[in-house]
């Protein structure tokens, strides 16, 4: 279950890059979740750290806007 959540978050972050939402992010999330599950715990760590870094960068950029 955690792998599906991390896959969905990674798909959302990848889809935000091009600015459009929709099915592309969901499909990427499914593919990423499958790949991360096959990699085992290392894949979950990599996926979680990717999402955390993107969230940190977005938070840091919003602080600079003020």
The pLDDT tens digits for 8-64 are: 777 777 777 766 666 777 777 777 777 877 888 888 888 888 888 988 998 898 887
Rounded to whole angstroms, how far apart are CA atoms 25 and 45?
Answer: 20
pLDDT value, residue 6: 72
pLDDT value, residue 66: 65
2: pLDDT strictly greater than 80: no
pLDDT value, residue 37: 78
Task: Give, to the nearest 10 degrees, the angle between helix 2-18 and helix 23-39.
Answer: 140
pLDDT value, residue 56: 92
Residue the block writes with tokens 């990717």: 50
């Amino acid at each position: 279950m955690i792998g599906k959540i991390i896959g969905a978050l990674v798909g959302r972050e990848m889809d935000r890059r091009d600015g459009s939402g929709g099915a592309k992010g969901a499909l990427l999330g499914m593919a990423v979740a499958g790949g991360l599950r096959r990699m085992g715990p290392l894949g979950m760590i990599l996926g979680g750290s990717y999402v955390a870094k993107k969230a940190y960068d977005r938070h840091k950029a919003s602080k600079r806007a003020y």
